[in-house]
Structure 1
Amino acid sequence: NIGNPILPAIHGGVIGGFMELSSAMYLLVSQSTLKFPKIIDFSLDYLRAGANQDTYAYCNVTRQGGRVANVEVHAWQESRDKPIALARAHFLLED
């Protein structure tokens, strides 16, 4: 899971996958349906290198309609005030 062994820093794909899955799980838990939401689009901004330590994510549904939901995700390690990445995910909600 280490992308740069010199730093060492977590691989960006690991961070992206963690954030995408976090947003999908958050949406699944906050919905009344048992169907897993289908990803439409995922946009990720890396802000700083992720160290080889525990990483946390905070998710927030910014907009939800009948068929589509938008989720904002913040990933951090040492402090919630210093995110390592920010993401926006768009999901298709199926009945």
Structure 2
Amino acid sequence: EFDGDVESGLFKLTRNHSNLGNPILPAIHGGVLGGFMEMSSSLHLLATQPVESFPKIIDFSIDYLRAGMDTDTFALCEVTRQGGRVANVEVHAWQESQDKPIALARAHFLIE
């Protein structure tokens, strides 16, 4: 969900038991976190850039920095470059503090 103004690039993944990959820790599944970050970057492009259709993912690279615990997760998206057909988006995900990210991602999209 959007957390604040749509154009701010701030998104929220609400705590949900079905998002857990390791219930012993408990920790969020890496695929859930990656999907959340990818979808957030796509929606951020739709909200902030003059695109006519849903952006198509070209490449998505994610660095998992620490375990995502069973709590709300936030992502902040920033368009780092937009050309005529390709846009680059950087995504930072965190839980307790924005200064302690749990994952960082870079996404490249084909836009039309």
**TM-score, normalised on structure 2?**
0.82
Q: Is the aligned partner of 1:50 residue 2:68?
A: yes
Structure 1 residue 32: deviation in Å? 2.1
Counterpart-to-counterpart distance in 2, 1:33 and 1:5: 40
2:52 is the counterpart of 1:26: no
Q: Does 1:13 align with 2:27?
A: no
The root-mean-square deviation of aligned C-alpha atoms, in Å, is: 0.7
Q: In 2, distance between residues paired with 1:47 and 1:4?
A: 16
Gaps of 5+ in 1: none
Report percent identity of matched pairs: 78
Distance 1:23 1:59 in 2: 6
Count of paired positions:
94
Three-state SS of the structure 2 residue aligned to 1:33 is coil
Runs of at least 4 residues off by over 4 Å: none
Residue type of the alignment partner of 1:47: L
Question: What is residue 11 of structure 2 aligned with on the other side?
Answer: none
TM-score calculated relative to the size of structure 1: 0.96
The residue type paired with residue 95 of structure 2 is: Q
